[in-house]
Each structure stands twice: as structure tokens, then as C-alpha cells.
Amino acid sequence: MPESLNAVIDALPYLLAGSAVTLIVVVGAMCLGLCLGVPLAVGQLYGQPAIRRAIGVYVWFFRGIPLLVLLFLFYFGLCTALDINLSAFTVAIIVLGLISSAYQSQIFRGAILSLPEGQLKAARALGMSDRRAIASIILPQALRLSVPGWSNEYSIILKDSAVAYALGVPEIMARAHFVATRTYQQLPLYLAAGVIFLVLTYLGTKGLRVLEEKVRIPGYSPQGG
Amino acid sequence: MEEWLYISTEVYPALLKGFWVSLALIVPSALFGIAIGIVLGVLRVYGSRPVMAAADGFVALFRGIPLVVQLFVWYFGLPYLKIYLNPFTAAVLGFSLCGGAYHSEYIRGALLSIKRGQMLAAQSLGFSTTRMIVSIVLPQALRRALPGCGNELIYLIKYSSLAYMITCVELTGQGKILASNSFRYTEIFLIIGACYLVMTSAAGVLLGRLEGRLRLPGFEQYRG
Amino acid sequence: MTTPVLRIENLSKRYGSRAVLTGASFSVNKGDLKILIGPSGAGKSTLLQCINFLVQPDEGRIWLDGEEVRPGHRRALCTYRQKVGMIFQDFNLFDHLNALENVRIGLVRVKGIARDEAGERAVRELTRVGLRDHLQKYPAQLSGGQKQRVSIARALAMDPKVMLLDEPTSALDPELIGEVHSVIREMGQGGMTMIMATHQIGFARSLASEIIFMEDGRIVEQGAPDRIFCHAENARTREFCSKITELYGETR
């Protein structure tokens, strides 16, 4: 057993450098997903019928196709066909971000729908335009309610990011596999990778819980009140 | 014409083969996964303290580690302990255990949402604990867990593509081979994507129908 | 003759085949307090919400200060709504903002007033409704009566020409009704033009310049309080008034 332990210890700095790559991919994808997800949710709820339908198709597309297939489609397919030179790393962020935008839009949509109708009415009664009311009244509340959903989304994207290994992105899994095939210490290294993911999940959800507490409205519970 | 020939003689048969492999991965994994999920869910709610803790730990582990890592452990890692699984078996094992952990979350939540009076009534009629769980509690809890578990099954359809990464050549794998040979990545992966869309959408419709059929008047499905 | 502050003509609204409001017409002069009474479902709330187009009326015209409102024109509609204050039955305070911010947001975001100046104005309005000590509290930390007073301050801060009050006390516990009534009474003494729907008959009778009785989406009768309560022409009005007097005790 000491042999396997040594292998893991030797590989640890290399694996931890991989977790930096993983985290950049995850944070990048979540931010992209947020930036696209908010307008998608707003469009799906308040947009014209044609826009709603288009967003519905977008969400259906990105939720219905496996990540691996989308990674292959974008990296080997579209990037070559359209002659765009993107690194595997960038493609991983984009694809994970697009998928996440579809899921995040549904988180926001649910949050917006859970707000009482009176909020929008009161904003209109003050003379706010609908756009202003959504920006100043609806979204600040909906975003707060979405934090628990993000926590979930974070742990999903974190785990999904391991699939980026298929494109050769040097994240945790790719590095663990690389060392494993050279040292023949497969099981210890994969388990080490698993532990790193567990730790990252734990830290991330903990951080988001702190955020949730920080943005909480005193006395307010989403169930009503 | 040439295009059509390529599609009908190469693409179609390969994808059909891949589709059957995918289906052969998905169906048993779904069944085992739900079975494992029910057992784990029941243990996590009604088990003795050590059993509960063990089941909770199992679930935390399998939900916290990426499925790819788990698959690698089963396929590339187990030989380290002189256990050799073929890619197909390793994939089904990985999908079932991971899926079971997720299903157990929904089933646990559903079990906890069953009103205490239901159990008191069963006990007052002389039901044993096991009998009560099987005949009274689970039929209610499974209805409540169905939407969540159904979502998990749709995830399984998508995640079945990861079997390709441990060399099990299913739909995605066949696509990768075709694309690498013909360099038509975009077309091939769009077709593959469409196949998955059909599968996930069909599963969604079927699950919706199942939910409708099992719906009881006045029994709130989404509570708890 | 002076122009009325608000004039509505033939306002109607139907949902499918059900008419919830039919041909409502009246005008309100400066400083008037018109009170809408009538059984639940009579269309009082719909009428008020139609007046500032929170519910889109199917037909009808509205004039504010002699100028006709064009609800199809978005900018004009927002300007009109600034001049018409609305008080809701269930307050509708913005849940993510504290009392001060609730009053300030309309000034900053709609009127474009600088934040500091708007803040001062908000403090003044909240002081006026007796909430000087609760500026930093969030809606969930306030009682129903306090919430309704914040919502009145929020509407007053916009300098409305007319206020619409949709049963402002019906979601309140009985012991909290008084504090809201006294704020409304002060508004009336300050010369605010108001249209209010309420079931508080005693309050209505003591304060109203005119009572409008509605039933089944129609205005049945309107007139001075004493006439409506004691000498109503319409049999339905008389019946309603005697029933409600019986229910809520003395009318005065």
C-alpha cells in the first residue's frame, strides 16, 4: 500500500493544478449560464409568442442532448466547419455554459413565477415601465430565490466538467488518468480524483450557503409572507 | 445520391447498432437504479442508526463524485484489485449505483412527507413494519417521488453516452467512429444529438403519461 | 364650472362571457372622497384597477385634468400612473426592499430624482404616516397596519393627483384598522382627491363626499352619503345599506 500512497502524494501537486483548471471551467460556465439564463427566463415569461417558442426550443435542445455529444459537436464539428480556432478549454466552458443557461433559465423562471403577482402590479401602479419593473423589482427578488438552485447547479457542473477530459482539457480527471496509466496505480489515483471533487463540492456549496445567508431578506420566507 | 448511399449503407446501420447498445445500457441501469434507490431510501428513513449512517454515507459518496470518475474506477481501477469487468458491465454497474444514490434522495423525501396518521392507522390495523412500508407507505411515496425519479431517468439517457469513455461502443461511440472515418463531425453529431433528443423527449412524454395514470384525486403529488 | 380631476366614461370589462364591469361613468372633483360600496364581486376592485389600467378595460375613456389618457402609448401610460396613486388590499410592498427603500424606489427609478433627495422625501412621507422609527424594517418585519401605511407613503411620495384605495383595511386585524383610517382621514383633510372601495360603512359615511353603490358590475346609484344611506331611490341600495348597517352596527 505505501507504493500507492507514494504515487498519490507525488501526483498531488499535479492534480491540484488540475483542480484550478476545473474551477475556472466551472466558474466560467456558471457565469455564462447566468448571463444567458436571466434574459432567457425573462424572454420566456414576458416575451412575444415567437420569442417564447424559440427559447422553448433552445432549452429543449440543450437539456435533451448529452454533454459529451455537444462537446464533440462543437469542438470537432462546428469549430472546424466554421473555421473557428478555439481551444478545448474554451469550448468546454462554452458548451457547459450553454447547457447551464438552459437549466438556469428554468431556475429563474420558477423563481419569478413564485413571486406574488402584486409585486408587478404595484410597480406598474407607481408608473414603472415593464422593463424597469422587471429590472428593479422582479429580478432582485428572483435572483435571491435562485441561490439554492445555483448551489445545485454548481455541483452538477463541477461533476460534468470531468467529461471535458474527453476533449483533452487538463482538468483533474485528465491528469489523474495521465498519471495512472504511467504509474499503474489506477485505483488510488481515481479515488484521489474523487476525493478532490468531493472537497470542491463541499467548499462550493458551503460558499453558496454563505451567499444565501448574506442576501437573505430579513423575515422573508419564499413560501409566503 | 452518393450522400444517400453513405447514409443508408454506413450511417444508418452503425447508428442502429449503437442505439441498441445504448438501450441495453439504459434499461437495466434504470431498473437496478430504481431498485437500489428504493432500498437505500427505505434504509435512510426507517433503518437503525448505523444502517442509516452507512446509507447516507454511500449516497453522499456516489452523488459527490463525478460519474466519469466512478466509471473509471469500475473499469480501469478494479483490475488493480484483480477484478476484471467488461466495459458493458462496468457501465451498467456505474449507472445503477450512481442512479440509485440519486433516486434514494427523492424516495427519502417522499417517505418523509407521508403523514404520520397513515402509519398509525396501519399499525392500529395490526400491520407489521415491513408490511406497512410495502403496502401503505411505498405506494404513496413512490407517487410523490415519481417526478424527481423520472428526471433522473432522463439524465440516465444522456449520461449513458459516458459509457463511450470506458470503451463501450454505444450510440455516441458509433458516432465518433463514423465521424473520425468520414470527417463529417457536424452532420454526424447533429444526427446523434437528434437521436438523444428523440429518446429524452419520448421518455419525458411517457413519464408524464405514467404520472397522469397514477395520479390519485386530491393526493398532492408535488408536496414534500 | 371647474374641470374634474378625473373623469371616466363608460368603462367596461368582461372576462369571456362574464361582464365584470359595465358602463361605469363618473367624475371626481378636486378634494372629493368618493367611496365605492357594494357586495363582494360587485366590480369595485375591477373598476379601480381599470382606472389605472392595471386591468385593461375593454372600452371606455378616462380624462385626468381634462386630458384624455392614451393607454396604448407606453410612455404616456407610465406618466399617467405616476399621477394616480394606488393602494392595494394586500399592500404589495416590494419584499426585497425595506420601508425607506420601498418609498424611495419610485422616486429614484421612475421620477429620476437623486438618491439623497429621494431619501429625504421618503423619510418625510414615512414620518407623516407615523413610521419614523421603522425606516430600516423589511415588509416581513412589519405589522399589516404598518405595511399599509408604508404603501400609502410610497404612493404619496409620487405626488399623485388622485389616490385609488382598494379596500385598504380589509386584510387587517380589527385593532389595526384605526391607524390606517386616521392616515386616510389626514390625507382627506390635506385636500387629497380619493376614490376608495371599502366595507367600513361608518368610516365611509363620516368622511365621504359621495357614495357610489355598485352591484353586478354596474353603478346602481350615486349621491351624498346621507341620501344613499337614508333615502336611497333604488330598492337594491336600500336593501344593501340596511343589511350592512345591521352587520357592522351603527353607521355613525
Residue B222 confidence class, pLDDT cut points 50, 70, 90: very low
Q: What percent of chain B lies above the pLDDT cut of 90?
A: 69
pLDDT band at B116, cuts 50/70/90?
A: confident
pLDDT of residue B223: 44
Within a domain: residue C156?
Answer: no
Note the pLDDT of residue B1: 64
Residue type at position B83: I
The answer to whether C141 faces chain A, any CB pair under 8 Å, is yes
* C47, three cell numbers: 373598476
- Nearest CB to A140; choose among C96, C154, C155: C96
User: Residues 6 or more apart from B208 whose CB is under 8 A from it?
Assistant: none
Tally of structural domains, chain C: 1
Structural domains present in chain A: 2-215 (1.10.3720.10)
Which residue carries 467488461 as its cell?
B86
CA distances from B11 to B174, B176, B194, C53 (A): 9, 11, 14, 59
**Which pLDDT belongs to residue B220?**
58
pLDDT given at position B10: 83
DSSP three-state, residue C165: strand
DSSP letter for C214, please: E
Instruction: Write down the pLDDT at residue B177.
Output: 93
Q: Which residues of A touch C52 (CB under 8 A)?
A: 125
On the question of pLDDT at C207 being above 70, the answer is: yes
ipTM given for this complex: 0.90
CB contact under 8 A, A163 and B68: yes
Q: Is it the case that residue A222 has pLDDT exceeding 70?
A: no
C97 CB-near residues (< 8 Å, 6+ apart): C105, C138, C139
CA dihedral B100, B101, B106, B107 (to 10 degrees): 60
CATH number, domain with residue C212? 3.40.50.300
As a whole number of angstroms, the distance between CA B154 and CA A73 comes to: 20
Beta bridge mates, C87: C165
Cell numbers linked to A69 = 455529444
Contact C102, C154 (CB under 8 A): yes
Residue B224: band (very low, low, confident or very high) from pLDDT cuts 50, 70, 90: very low
B touches C, CB cut-off 8 Å, minimum 3 pairs: no
Nearest to B76 among A67, A160, A180 (CB): A180
Q: Which residues 176-205 of A are in CB contact (within 8 Å) with B? A: 176-177, 180, 184-188, 190-191, 193-194, 197-198, 201-202
A19 at B interface, C-beta within 8 A: no
| A166 and chain B in contact, CB less than 8 A | yes
Residue B120: what pLDDT?
Answer: 77
Residues of C numbered 40-59 whose beta carbons fall under 8 angstroms of chain A's beta carbons: which are they?
Answer: 49, 52, 54
pTM confidence score:
0.84
Can you give the pLDDT at residue A223? 47
- Distance CA(C192)–CA(C37), nearest Å, equals 20
Q: What is the average pLDDT across B40-67?
A: 94
**Confidence band (pLDDT; 50, 70, 90) for A35?**
very high
Residue C72, in any domain of the structure: yes
Which cell numbers in the block locate residue C59? Answer: 372600452
pLDDT at position C249 is 56
Query: Contact C92/A121, CB-based, under 8 Å?
Result: yes
| Res. A219: pLDDT tops 60 | yes
Q: Give the residue from A121, A126, A132 with the most C CB atoms within 10 Å of its CB, the best one to mutate.
A: A126
The yes-or-no verdict on residue C85 having pLDDT over 80 is yes
Does residue C96 lie in a domain region?
Answer: no
Beta partners for residue C68, in sequence order: C63
Which grid coordinates are listed for C189?
383633510
Interface of C with A in 155-214 (CB under 8 A): 155, 158
Q: What is the tens place of the pLDDT at every residue in B165-198?
A: 999 999 999 999 999 988 889 999 999 999 999 9
Residue of A nearest to B76 (CA): A186
Distant-in-sequence, close-in-space partners of B17: CB < 8 Å, separation ≥ 6: B174
Query: What chains are in contact with B, requiring at least 3 Cβ pairs below 8 Å?
Result: A
Q: All 3 cell numbers of residue B209? A: 403519461
Chain A, nearest residue to B180 by Cα? A76
The stretch C164-171 carries a mean pLDDT of 93
Q: Of all residues in chain C, what percent carry a pLDDT higher than 90? A: 67
Domain assignment present for C232: yes
CA distance B157 to A64: 9
SS (H, E, C) chain A: CHHHHHHHHHHHHHHHHHHHHHHHHHHHHHHHHHHHHHHHHHHHHHCCHHHHHHHHHHHHHHHHCCHHHHHHHHHHHHHHHCCCCCCHHHHHHHHHHHHHHHHHHHHHHHHHHHCCHHHHHHHHHCCCCHHHHHHHHHHHHHHHHHHHHHHHHHHHHHHHHHHHHHHCCCCHHHHHHHHHHHHCCHHHHHHHHHHHHHHHHHHHHHHHHHHHHHHCCCCCCCCCC
Question: Are A219 and C79 an interchain contact pair (Cβ–Cβ within 8 Å)?
Answer: no
The grid coordinates of residue A160 equal 460534468
pLDDT above 80: residue C251: no
Which of C95, C151, C154 has the CB atom closest to A220's CB atom? C95
Distance from CA of A91 to the nearest CA of C (A): 37
DSSP symbol at B75:
I
- pLDDT over threshold 70, residue B20: yes
Q: Residue B200 and residue A177: Cβ atoms within 8 Å?
A: no
Residue C228 backbone dihedrals phi, psi, to 5 degrees = -65, -45
Neighbours of A2 (CB within 10 A): 6
- C17-53 pLDDT, tens per residue? 899 999 999 999 999 999 999 998 899 999 999 998 9
Instruction: Assess whether pLDDT exceeds 70 at residue C248.
Output: no
Query: What's the average model confidence in pLDDT over C124-150?
Result: 94
What pLDDT is stored for residue A221 in this prediction? 63
Q: Is residue C183 part of a domain?
A: yes
Give the closest-approach CA distance of B155 to chain A in angstroms.
Answer: 9
Contact C105 A136 (CB under 8 A): yes
pLDDT of amino acid A1: 62
At which residue does the C-alpha cell 488510488 appear? Answer: A188
Mean pLDDT of chain A: 92
Which residues on chain C are in Cβ contact (under 8 Å) with A119? Answer: 92, 94-95
Residue B222, C-alpha cell as written in the block: 408535488
At residue A99, does pLDDT exceed 50?
yes
Cα–Cα distance measured from residue C32 to residue B69, given in angstroms and rounded to the nearest whole number: 75
Question: How confident is the prediction for chain B on average, in pLDDT?
Answer: 90
For A138-184, how does the pLDDT look when each residue is reduced to its tens digit (9 = 90+)? 999 999 999 989 999 999 999 999 999 999 999 999 999 999 989 88
Residue C75 in domain: yes
Instruction: For residue A220, give the nearest of C54, C75, C140 by CB distance.
Output: C140
Mean pLDDT value of segment A47-65: 96
Q: Is residue C154 part of a domain?
A: no
In a domain, C109, yes or no: no
Q: Give the mean model confidence (pLDDT) for residues C91-110.
A: 91
Is there an interface between C and A (3+ Cβ pairs < 8 A)? yes
What residue of A is the nearest CA neighbor of B198?
A: A64
**DSSP letter (8 states) at residue B81:** G
User: What residues make up the domain containing C210?
Assistant: 6-91+163-248
Measured between CA atoms, how close is A201 to chain C, in angstroms?
A: 29
Compute φ and ψ for C234, nearest 5 degrees.
-85, 140
Alpha carbon C124 to its chain centroid, in Å, reads 21
Helices (H), B65-86: 67-72
Q: Which three cell numbers stand for residue C124?
A: 418625510
Q: Which residues pair with C218 in a beta bridge?
A: C215
Q: Which domains does chain B have, with CATH numbers?
A: 2-214 (1.10.3720.10)
Residue with more model confidence, A161 or B222 = A161
